[in-house]
Structure formats: C-alpha cells, structure tokens
Structure 1
Amino acid sequence: MSNQREKLFTEFPPVSTQEWMEKITADLKGADFQKKLVWRTNEGFDVNPFYREENIKGFSWLDNLPGQFPYVRSTRKNNIWYVRHEIDVKDFVEANQKALKLLERGVTSLGFHIPKNAISIENIATLLDGISPEKVELNFKTCISRTVELAKVVVNYILSRNVDVMKCFGSIEFDPFRKILKKGQDVPDWVEQAAEMVQIAAPLPRFKAISITGNMFNDAGAYSYQELGYALSYGNQVLSALVEKGLNPTLTAKKIKFEFGVGSNYFMEIAKFRAARWLWAEIVNAYKPVCPNDCDNKAPDGTCRCAAKMNIHAITSKFNQTIYDPYVNMLRTQTESMSATIGAVDSLTVRPFDEAFETPTEFGERIAVNQQLLLKEESHFDKITDPSAGSYYIENLTFSLAQQAWKLFLETEETGFYQALKLGKIQDAIDTSAQARAKALANRKEILLGTNQYPNFSESMAEKMQKSDDHSCGCSNGENTQLKKLNMTRLSDPFDTLRLATERSGKRPKVFMLTIGNLAMRSARSQFSSNFFGCAGYEIIDNLGFNTVQDGINAAREKNADIVVLCSSDDEYAALAPEAFELIKGGKEIFVVAGAPECMEELKAKGIEYFINVRSNILETLRMFNTLLGIK
C-alpha cells in the first residue's frame, strides 16, 4: 500500500507554501489576508485558513502511539469509553431498578447522587443489588460534608464482595472546592479531608477519590483555555498540598479524576482533551512519582508514568442548552459527544435534551444514552484511537491551546488556585468571559439556533417549565458565604426570560410585515424581521407584497397589528417610510423600518424612531419593544 501511495502522489507536482500564498493573494484581489482569512479565537491565538506539514514539525508527540507518555494521543491503546448515566437517588430500591434497566440498554457506567442522610452499607447494598463492581464503572457523589463517610461505606461494601479489585473501576467524588464554586462557602480543612479520601480509597487501586470539576467552569461560560488552565491549577493545588502533607505522589496522582465539560466548538474541544492529557502528564512527572512495580510503563529513572495518566470524565455542556426548540439540544450534545470520544475521554455523560426546563423524562434519558451507542455501534468511534492524529489543523490547535492554557496555569500558580478562588479572581475571569459570550449572542455574533436565530414562532414552553433541581444538599449551616461563587447562568437565559415573559403576559403581540417595492429586498428583509421578532415569541404576519403603502396599512389594521415593519429597499425608503409613518401616526401601531438605509438620519428627523438591522442588539431591542407593549 505504501508503494502504491508513493506512486500516486508522484504523479502530482509539489506545491510550495509560497505558491499557495501567491494564489490566495491573487484571489483576494487586494484584500488583507490577515483580516479576511485569519481567525482570532476566543482562546487568544490565531487560526490560519490552511496548514501544511511544515506547521507541525517539532511537535514532540507526533511519533508517539496511543498509550505512550505524554498521552496526547490517549492514555490507552483502545478507544473504548464508559457510557455513563446519572441517577439522583431518592429511593434506593427504585434507583436500583432504574440502574438495572439502564445496564440492559447499553450503559456501562453509573453515577449515583446519594442523599447525605441515607448513607449506610445496607442502602448501598440495596442500590447495587445485581450490579457487579467488576463489570460496571460505579461513581458516587453526596454532600461534601458526608463524602468521607460515603467513601468508607462504599469501599467496605466492595471489599466485602470478594471481587478482584483490579477489575473494579469508579470513583467516590470528593471535590475540595465545590462549596466555593457553587455556594461561596469555604472548606478550611479540605486538605485533611482530601488526604483521608485518598487513604480510604487506597485498597481499591482503580477507584478515584478526588474530583477536579473543570466542567463547572465550562457550565459557567469559560472559554476552553480557561477551563483547561484552571482545572490544571486546581489539580496541581490538590496534588501539591497532599504531597506536602506526606502522601505518596504516585498514590495521590492515581486517585485524581478530572471532569471536563464539552462545548460545541467541535475541533477546539477535540484539541482540549489532547492538550489536557499532555499538560497534566508533565505536571505529574515533575513530582517524580516512583513506580512501585516492575512495570513496562516506567521511565529509565524509575518514575511512574502510569501516575501521569489523566483520567477524564466528560459531560456535555449545560451552558449552551436552551429551553426553546429543545430538540436542537440533541444536535448540540451529539457533536459534543463526537468531540469527546474522538478526543479519547475515559467516560462520558450526555445531558438529556429536556434537562433545561424539566426533570428529564424517560424518553429524554433514553435518547441521551442512545446518542453514545450510535457512536459506538453504528459509527464505530470505539474502533479507532485518536483518528485526529496527523491532522495539521488539529495538531496545531492542540499545541496552541496547550500554550494558552499553560500560560494561564502559570499565572494562577503565582497566587495559588485556592487563594485565587478566595480572592474571586477565577470567578471574575470566567464571569467576564460569560458576559462577552452573552453580548456576542445578543448581537448574533454567536448563534443558538431556535433562540436568537430561526426560532419556532408558534412554540410554547411556559406550561412545561418545572422548578430546577440542582441536587443541592442545602447544608449551609451558617458557614461563611462571603466568597464569590460561579455564575451558573445559561447562555440562552436572557432570551428565554424574554420569551417566557411574552407567553405569560397573555397578550401575544402581532408583527405585520408591510412588504412593498423591490421583490428581492422586501423578501429578504421580511424574513430577517420575522426571525428578529420571533425571538421574543411575537406572532408574525408575513405577506407577499402590496401595491401601495395605503393597502399595507389597511391590511395591518384589519389584522389588528401591534407592530408594522416596513420591508423594502434602501432606495425606496426615502419615499415609502415617511408615507407609511404619516398614515400610522395617531394609531396604536409601532412603526419599524427594516434595515439601515443611508437616509436613516433624514427619516429620524421626520419622527421615525425604530430601525432593526444586522447591527442591532437583538436582546436589548426586543426588551425595549416588550416595554413599549406593556410586557414585563
């Protein structure tokens, strides 16, 4: 095959980078290459429109195979990941029955959320009845104040089963800084609790005890480099503190598990997981953990390379889930699942599409599981490891993202992750990013289909809304709440709030498209305006066109319109807009011109106030119309 491939390519003359650039420059016809084709990412680096082999020279991992240090390509030779599903345990018998059904449907990993006042070996036995710890990855979470107690119970239960502990995978998730991130509450004795967790879980070598929840940064709106940089600093803070306390670095590193969110930036997310493994391997390697065994994966100096393997659990993003047009959430989570599995995560949770507005239904949960099974059983994503390897683009993304994350890691290390959290530096940085993304959404520079673009005009969601359940244990106990917490607002929340207000007002405004003049322009502007006002849940009345402005105004009043949008061409607005405005003046209708014509200032001088166009902040504009229409 290699000889045939060589003969094939020798039939084509080589093309140099210089020749490519000359051709591109000619095609641009004088336009600036950097401004026109180079993309400046939110991660802080530029992405070129094309890459060549010369762009990946010097990348140290290129000759490595999957499973080789520093694990850019994967920590294992295969790409078999755990299909995980979360179960909020209220009744242990019911939770057990649900778990058994999920296992029959292809789930291979279970995440149990245990009530803090129901931790006992009897309840754990009931929960795991018929479930083998050697066959299923088992993960447990409870209130941080009771996690140590839960760890003791789980470890004792598994050991009592006389199983092969080397075949038992899972975690008891102790997140040292979850209280700060979620509630603004400090846990001053986190080092002691973390150390105890590591020691309790030691008899189960494949069980993790410390959870580094980078996914919380993702759900709060962090960019990929922030999620990665802060998660690495978080992990290093825990590792260094426990090593200083006297714990074995090899044991400690092997007890740490990372949780990352997965956003919709497809290739960037693939690169994120590759960069994460690389950087964490280098961090752990700096501690020189000693290999206790005669192992093939031992460095020449005796350093344990297995300890440097990052265990990654990925969770599809909560930040970009929407209430309206919720089935689009399936499309988002599907591409996110693809990014995660191509990026070789160890386990994956797909959020049900309806999670944003209700307790997930059985249908929603089954679809979430099947999304992963499709990737395995029909798309065969588990049959090849790191298919992105060698892609000039993804290899460069991996390197550039790693650089930005490492820079942030070093900046955070100067203060220390824990101290930076207490000062609110990390929370402020992520909140700034979330605000920037919200602004981009309001200006349609970032798109959420069904929310700020192409909404379902007739959709109603207010009656489907349920009170959210954040699995909070409510254990504030009068503790200090003066620290900053992460703002966990979803990206679509302002738009959802706007549209729900329209629904709940009981008076759905009617927007009438007064289409006249140039056929192409009136159709384009009518479509734009329909999508614009549809994002607030208004009723849209479109039209094929009118012969006169008077005919359009008469038709609008017959329909009892609240807003009349003039849709025509810029050249025709100078005459048509003042005529329409005069005919509407004195009526209840709000007059709007679609576009930003050169005569806008002249039209404003004649009393026309409202214009909508591609430069409009859609969120603020629609809020203004809601106020004008008496919708609160």
Structure 2
Amino acid sequence: MSDTPAAVPVSFAEFPAVTTAEWQARLARDLKGQDPATLRWPLPDGFSVEPFYHREALAALGGPPAPLPHPVVPWLNVPALNVPAGEGRAQIDQAVQALGRGADGVHFILADAGSFAVHYLAEMLPLATTFVGYTVTAAPDALLSQLVEAAPGTALRGFLRFAPGPVPEGAELADYRAALRRCVSLTTAMPDFRALAVNGAFFGNRGATATQQIAFSLNTAAALLAELPTDDISAAQVAATLHVHMAVAPSYFPEMAKLRALRRLWATLLHGFGLPASLNANLRVHALTSSWAQTTLDPHTNLLRHTTEAMSAVLGGADSLSVAAFDCVFAEANEFSARLARNLSVLLREEAGLGQVQDPAAGSYFLETLTDQLAQEAWTLFQRVEAAGGLPVARGQVLDEIKAVATETFRRIASGQQVIVGTNRFQNPREQFSFHPKKLLRSAEFDVTRAAYPTEVLRLATALHFERREKKSKRAAVVLLGTNTNQIILEQFVNMLQPHERPEIAASHPPGTLSVLYSSPEEATLMYATPEQFQKFARFIYQIPTEKQHFIPPALLSSDMATLHEAVRVFGFKEMKVQGYTTEEVLARLQGR
C-alpha cells in the first residue's frame, strides 16, 4: 500500500465563485459597448482565437482531454553542426566540447556523408550512450552501414534524416525505397535510434501555416507507411523507426498547440493503418528554431525569438531541441553565438525549471481549444491531400498552397500588419551591419526563403545603391528582390503617401515574375523578369554553360555598367513604373531619407 498522502482539493473560500456569465458581463462593461468580437485574433490557419475562454470550453471538447505523452526525462539539448565536404574532424571535436558544456547530444548536417570520419567519431564519442543525429543528402543506408561497422554490436542513439533535395521528404519516394528499407532493417534492434524522418520543418521554414505543417507532415508519414512495408518489413517496424522534425516559430501559444495537435493526430494516423496505440507514445519530436523567422537586420532580436520558440517547443512536448545561432544567416559558425544557443536550453531547464511537468498545457481552456481546432483543420487538409493522391502525386498542390500563404505573409509584413521587430517596425536607423551586404547577397548560401527577406534585401540593396552613387563606382549591379516583391514595394510605398500625393499606380508586373533592382551610379530602376529570363541573365553574367544544370544564381550579380545594361535589355527585363516617382525617390522614401 502506498504511503503517499491523498490529494486534498484546493479551495480559495475567501474568493467568491465567478460564473462565466459574470466574466462576460465584466468584459462587456470594460469594453464600454465595443463588440468583444473585435478582440479576436485571426490566425493564418483560417480561424480566430477568442479573447476569453471559460470552463465550458472543455465541456465543448467532451471534457478535459487526457494529458499527452511526455518525455520520461526533460528534452535533450541537441545543437546542430554544419559539416562541409570532408572528414569533419573539426566538427566532431566541436561536438565533444559542446557535450562537455551543456549539450545532451549533437546533430551533424553533412554536406558529403561519404567522406565523414565515422571511425574518428566512434573513437571520440561513445555511440552507445551519446545521442547523435545525422542529416544526409544521399545514401542514408551507406552512412548507417559505416556506423554499424565502426561500432560493432552497438545500439545507436539518435536519429537519421534523409534530405535528398529541394522537395519534401516523401515527395520522391520511388527513387529511395530500397535505401530507406535498408535503414529500417539496420536499426530495428535499436529502439533509441530513429532512422526515418518526417521533415515538417521543410514546410514550416517555407512559410506554411501550423495547420499545413501538421497536415503535410502526416501526408509524408502516410506515404512512408504505405510504400515501405514488404514481406520482410512490417508497417509496425516502419512506424517504430519514424520521428518528426518540426520548425517552431515565434507565435508562442499556436506553436505550443501545433506540437500537441501533431501528437494527437499521430495516434489517429497509426489507427488508420491498423497499428497499435502503444506506438503513439513512442513518437519522438525533434524541434528546431525556425529559419523562416530569422533576420539579418537588428539580428540580436533573433535571441529573443529563439527564446519564445524554445519555450513553445518544450512546453508543447518536444523530445529534443536544436536552437540555431542568432547570427547563422550571415556569419560563419563561431563559439560566441554557439554558446548562447546551447545555453538557452540549459537556462530553461536548470533555472526556469521547464520540463518538470508532464504536458503543462493540459487543462488550459485556451490551449486545449486551440489544440483541438488545429487538429481538426489539419486532419481535414490531410484528408484532402490524400484524396488528391497523397505524396508524391500531390506534391505540386502542396507546394503551391505553401507559396500562396508565404506570399500573403510577405504582403502583411510589407504593409505593417505583421510585425518583425527591428525589420519593419522599431528599426534601428543607425544600425551598422556586422557583415558585408555585398558579400552576403553574392553568397549562394544566403537564405532567401525567410519571411523577412523581401523587406531586408530591399534595405540592403538600397544601402548598396546609395554607396555606389556616392563613390561613383564604375560597376552596376542587379539585385534579386524576390517573387512579386514589386507589388509589395508599391503597397508599402503608397501607404506612406498622403491621399493627395498618391498618383495613379501602374500594374506592378504579372504574378509569378521575379522582382529585381538594377543599380548603377547614375540610376536605380525597379524591374521584373520571368524566372527563365533571370536564369539566362545570371548564366551570361557568370559565364555558366547551359549544360551545367544545377546552378542557383546569387541574389547579387554585378559587372561593368555597359555589359550589365545591355544584358538587362537583351534578356528582356521590364521596368516597373510608379507614375510621378523615380525608383530612387521610392527607395529614399522607403528608407526614411
């Protein structure tokens, strides 16, 4: 018989009970006749969050839902290390140091897994007890085979994520079935190693809503569960080796509810495949701070974003977490920012005490309702994609839906409806860049898929233009601003004008075309081109032969003025016109000059 004392109901007798009707009456009184509906918070997912929730909200859900499964131990602090082509011994040494300074594991993102020093890794880290993740772009089974050979008889801990290219994992499944099945076979006797990844972060880091991230992750998992089982590999084996990667954005409560909704729907998905419910408790969620929300302007604000993202992740039930360095968009990896990122998890766990309570959001009227709404919306979307053939058949539809949402986000940021602190509001007008804008824009690694990109690249390109004009440079440049960014610039510019100032605005350009800024010492011109025109233009400027298929142009291309001016004409770039204003006047007004 347990000697644990029975729980005593908590009572606050000195406070009179307040009914829902009384709360609503007080709300109406404080609003002084204003409709409470005006306080609703519309989410990009297509529904709104109410300003007030009450105990009846749980009754509407059929009673308080049971707490969700939670890690036996607090989440694992797993920093990510990018490993360039080569053996990666320096990154392995960094991993050893990180594990001695607060990390619980490490995630190697490998540019070339074939040359990675697996035997050196096994020498430096005890693979039987160290949580190690690996992201590879090719031959995932080959890397696993090398790990097994380097540490014979060892049951690995960690995960493997196979990211074959710029498409969602599961979208090109036919080419990789054999390799993924071999990964399942190699790790069946390794319960603490998950060899199949459902990469929800792919969708989140391209601007997908929370609903889309959950739904499309489930579509990816469904494709794996449907395609990989054979006579030798059961669906249960496939399910047991699956795990999910999710990018967590700064929207604190919705992101927490997103992870909770994913866990609930995972049980529904497994049930649909006739798999035991016990496998649901086995699901591991690896969370990472969102690259979609990262900025280059006022970059220390990324530290604050990462804090709310990390809190959402761990309070939402993530099993492991990677916090990115605040300067990773524009700076080389360095110990200072890596230490800050690593210590964020340590502070939340050791000083804030997060991770001590199972499913801390359980029972919250607001969060339980929000979790249920996201789950319902996501399941409806999941079913719609499955009805269209699922992945990979519906890949184009999935990417188009994400692109539409991302375009709307760009518009909201440009109009100020959606705030990015330090970028489109509360800017630092005297900010001195800690990076070289020209070098950054020329870098092929510069991430142009972020929410802030159209706004920040316009500021960077404008700064470079005025610098070029002041120095009377003899070179010109074309800066890629993004898809449909001219329309965003127009809306932002027009919103700055007084009604009597607003001229008739010409149509920006056809949807889907690329916006560019042509800049020389004499002039700056906003232009647009089709993706094909820009690709041919970039190949000409950089003298890239057409037979080289995989060429991604940098955001900044420069040459002598005569060559660039003629190339812009030959390849058919069209000028965007704002009647009554030159491009320089538009840029100067946008920059507050």
Is this contact kept in 2: 1:281–1:310, CA < 8 A? no
Given the superposition, is the C-alpha separation of residues 190 and 416 from structure 1 closer, same or farther in structure 2, using an over 3 Å criterion?
A: farther
Q: Distance in 1 between matches of 2:202 and 2:348?
A: 25
Given the superposition, is the C-alpha separation of residues 309 and 488 from structure 1 closer, same or farther in structure 2, using an over 3 Å criterion?
A: farther
1:200-252 deviation digits (Å, cap 9, x = unpaired): 22232321111111101111011111111110111111112223666212211
| Letter aligned with residue 69 of structure 2 | S
Tell me the CA shift for residue 320 of structure 1.
1.2
Q: Which residue of 2 aligns with 1:325?
A: 298
Larger Rg belongs to:
1
1:465-518 deviation digits (Å, cap 9, x = unpaired): 5465659xxxxxxxxxxxxxxx962111112211112221244999xxxxxxxx
| Letter aligned with residue 167 of structure 2 | I
Q: Which residue of 1 aligns with 2:121?
A: 127
Q: Distance in 2 between matches of 1:81 and 1:304?
A: 25
Q: Distance in 2 between matches of 1:199 and 1:357?
A: 40
Match of 1:148 among 141, 156, 173: 141
Residues 347-386 of structure 1: matches in 2 within 5 Å? 347-386=320-359
Tell me the CA shift for residue 432 of structure 1.
0.4
TM-score normalized by the length of structure 2: 0.74
Q: Which residue of 2 aligns with 1:180?
A: 167
| Letter aligned with residue 224 of structure 1 | A
| Letter aligned with residue 327 of structure 2 | D
Unaligned runs of 5+ in 1: 66-72, 290-302, 472-486, 511-535, 537-591, 608-618
What is the root-mean-square deviation in Å for CA atoms of aligned residues?
3.4
Q: Tell me how many residue pairs correspond in the alignment.
A: 486
Q: Which residue of 1 aligns with 2:244?
A: 258
TM-score normalized by the length of structure 1: 0.70
1:111 lines up with 2:104 in the alignment: no
1:136 lines up with 2:109 in the alignment: no
Given the superposition, is the C-alpha separation of residues 86 and 52 from structure 1 closer, same or farther in structure 2, using an over 3 Å criterion?
A: same
Given the superposition, is the C-alpha separation of residues 75 and 282 from structure 1 closer, same or farther in structure 2, using an over 3 Å criterion?
A: farther
Is this contact kept in 1: 2:415–2:495, CA < 8 A? no
1:253-275 deviation digits (Å, cap 9, x = unpaired): 01111100000110001111111
Q: Distance in 1 between matches of 2:23 and 2:373?
A: 23
Using the TM superposition, name which of 432-441 and 451-460 deviates more.
451-460
Match of 2:455 among 473, 479, 495: 495
Tell me the CA shift for residue 46 of structure 1.
2.3
Tell me the CA shift for residue 98 of structure 1.
1.1
Q: Which residue of 2 aligns with 1:25?
A: 28
Tell me the CA shift for residue 276 of structure 1.
0.6
Q: Distance in 2 between matches of 1:157 and 1:61?
A: 52
Q: Distance in 2 between matches of 1:377 and 1:430?
A: 38
Tell me the CA shift for residue 195 of structure 1.
1.7
Q: Distance in 1 between matches of 2:215 and 2:278?
A: 22
1:228 lines up with 2:202 in the alignment: no
Residues 374-453 of structure 1: matches in 2 within 5 Å? 374-422=347-395, 424-453=396-425
**Structure 2 residue matching 1:351: 3-state secondary structure:** coil
| Letter aligned with residue 219 of structure 1 | N
**Structure 1 residue matching 2:124: 3-state secondary structure:** coil
1:513-562 deviation digits (Å, cap 9, x = unpaired): xxxxxxxxxxxxxxxxxxxxxxx9xxxxxxxxxxxxxxxxxxxxxxxxxx
Q: Distance in 2 between matches of 1:202 and 1:61?
A: 38
Q: Distance in 2 between matches of 1:308 and 1:74?
A: 6
Unaligned runs of 5+ in 2: 1-5, 471-480, 482-493, 505-515, 518-524, 527-577, 589-593
1:100 lines up with 2:100 in the alignment: no
Given the superposition, is the C-alpha separation of residues 604 and 112 from structure 1 closer, same or farther in structure 2, using an over 3 Å criterion?
A: closer
1:305 lines up with 2:288 in the alignment: no
1:79-109 deviation digits (Å, cap 9, x = unpaired): 3434333241544332221111111111111
| Letter aligned with residue 497 of structure 1 | V
1:27-70 deviation digits (Å, cap 9, x = unpaired): 43443332x122222112221111111101264684635xxxxx
Q: Distance in 1 between matches of 2:147 and 2:279?
A: 25
Q: Distance in 2 between matches of 1:509 and 1:141?
A: 44
Is this contact kept in 2: 1:358–1:468, CA < 8 A? no
**Structure 2 residue matching 1:19: 3-state secondary structure:** helix
Q: Which residue of 1 aligns with 2:573?
A: none
Tell me the CA shift for residue 403 of structure 1.
0.8
| Letter aligned with residue 104 of structure 1 | G
Q: Which residue of 2 aligns with 1:43?
A: 45
Q: Distance in 2 between matches of 1:223 and 1:489?
A: 15
1:119-144 deviation digits (Å, cap 9, x = unpaired): 47xx2011232211233211122222
**Structure 2 residue matching 1:460: 3-state secondary structure:** coil
**Structure 2 residue matching 1:129: 3-state secondary structure:** helix
Given the superposition, is the C-alpha separation of residues 29 and 362 from structure 1 closer, same or farther in structure 2, using an over 3 Å criterion?
A: same
1:16 lines up with 2:3 in the alignment: no
